[in-house]
Amino acid sequence: MGNIKNRTLDYNSLINEFPWITKENQKAIISPDVDGMLCGLLMSYYYNWEIVGFYDGKKLAIKQNIKPSECIFLDIEIYRQEVKSCGHHMLLYNKKNISISFKNNFSNCINPNIMRDFDSYSNFKEKYPLAMIHFMLCIISSQKKITIPKTAVPILLYADGTFKNLLNYPENCIGWLNFLNAKDHNNPIYPLYINFANLKIATMIHQLEVIFKKFLEFADFKKRGGDKIKISDISNNSFSTDSITKIKKLITLLSDYTQWKYNSEKWALNGLNILSFSKNIEQKINNKKYTVIINKNPLSWAITATKQIEYTLEKPDKLY
């Protein structure tokens, strides 16, 4: 889509380039956190997508007899040209040192930072500050009417710690809202924006406190982690009975907040194959180290700090 750093996003052009994002009856693999689950609920409810797997950067759980290339990865970018994916992570270290393989392997990937030609070296403070669900909502709302009840606002602020970025980096958030054209009264996505804009900080903090407590009810030993699906809980191709109960309660909670109906038949929690990968962290990246990592042909990665990259290699298992 070219460098559109200082222009607003043309949603029609985006969908023309990636028409699969608004097609009915697709199969999806999601990240196993609140952001991924919200994306799954959104697409399952409005487009009848089936959630056939989960990927956390270390393990991929996928419904038996389904190939990853048949699926769309939500909330994670996959560095394979034949795989459709969408995510919001920082992927490029230096735009002056971009390879042909980077462009080719991400040619089937929707990523707002790539769209704006942002890299870690020059633009890390300007990187996309919201969650994937917000970007998905903008895309989908440009095509059909999406209902966002007021009860959904706090959970949408919770996803990926969006509320922290709104409070700590308001200028960057405003810049991205302008890019998304969310503040235009005539834009179909304006109703999404105004629900957030009208929320008072004190109310937001109170509502988030309630959410923290609800997620704690799902956590083991009342510690953090109740807001995630743990792929490590899968044994003999299925989540345990206790895990399935917790997962269904968790997704139902998100469904109650958003009013996007949860159809459990559309979410695969058994009959799953597990692929394990090698996850690595490099804490002092530069042009040379980044190039070395990319030449290893990682499956996925994210630059999580100005000089830190976390990446996944297809070892010992292979995706294909």
Query: Given the structure tokens 């700090």, which residue do they identify?
Result: 305
Minimal CA–CA distance to 83: which of 305, 316, 300? Answer: 300
Confidence check: pLDDT of 1 > 50: no
- Beta bridge partners of residue 308, listed in sequence order: 305
- The verdict on residue 1 lying in a domain is no
Burial of 72 (0-12, 13-18, 19+ CB in 10 A): buried
Q: What's the rounded Cα separation, in Å, for the pair 78 and 54?
A: 13
Confidence check: pLDDT of 192 > 90: no
Report CA torsion sign: 220, 226, 231, 236: positive
- Contact status, residue 288 vs residue 70, Cβ threshold 8 Å: no
Output the pLDDT for position 317.
63
- The verdict on residue 3 lying in a domain is no
Output the pLDDT for position 225.
63
What are the structure tokens assigned to 97, written together? 């040192």
Residues in the chain: 320
Report CA torsion sign: 167, 171, 175, 178: positive
Backbone torsions φ then ψ of 235, nearest 5 degrees = -140, 140
Please measure the distance between the N-terminal and C-terminal CA atoms of the chain and give it in whole angstroms.
29
Q: What's the rounded Cα separation, in Å, for the pair 234 and 270?
A: 8
Over range 184-191, report the average pLDDT. Answer: 80
Burial of 109 (0-12, 13-18, 19+ CB in 10 A): buried
Report CA torsion sign: 201, 203, 204, 206: positive
- The verdict on residue 300 lying in a domain is yes
Q: Which residue has the higher pLDDT, 189 or 241?
A: 241
Confidence check: pLDDT of 261 > 60: yes
Pairing of strands 238-239, 234-235: antiparallel
Least confident of 4-18, 63-77, 138-152, 212-226: 212-226
Cα Rg for the chain, rounded, in angstroms?
19
Helices within 240-308 (DSSP H only): 241-258, 287-295
Please report how many Cα atoms fall inside a 13 Å half-sphere around the Cα of residue 195, on the Cβ side.
Answer: 17
- The verdict on residue 200 lying in a domain is yes
- The verdict on residue 319 lying in a domain is no
Q: For the chain, what percent of residues have pLDDT higher than 70?
A: 95
User: Dihedral through CA 184, CA 185, CA 190, CA 195, nearest 10?
Assistant: 120
Burial of 183 (0-12, 13-18, 19+ CB in 10 A): middle
Confidence check: pLDDT of 64 > 90: yes
- The verdict on residue 196 lying in a domain is yes
Specify the long-range contacts of residues 206-215, CB closer than 8 Å, at least 24 apart. 207/153, 207/154, 208/154, 208/157, 208/158, 208/163, 210/154, 211/154, 211/155, 211/158, 214/253, 215/250
Q: What is the pLDDT of residues 196-249, one digit of tens each?
A: 888 888 999 999 999 999 998 887 755 556 899 999 999 999 999 999 999 999
Q: What is the pLDDT of residues 21-49, one digit of tens each?
A: 999 999 999 999 999 999 999 999 999 99
- The verdict on residue 5 lying in a domain is no
Q: Give the chain's domain count.
A: 1
- The verdict on residue 318 lying in a domain is no
Q: Which residue has the higher pLDDT, 140 or 189?
A: 140
Structural domain containing residue 195: 11-313
pLDDT band of 7, cuts 50, 70, 90: confident
Output the pLDDT for position 50.
98
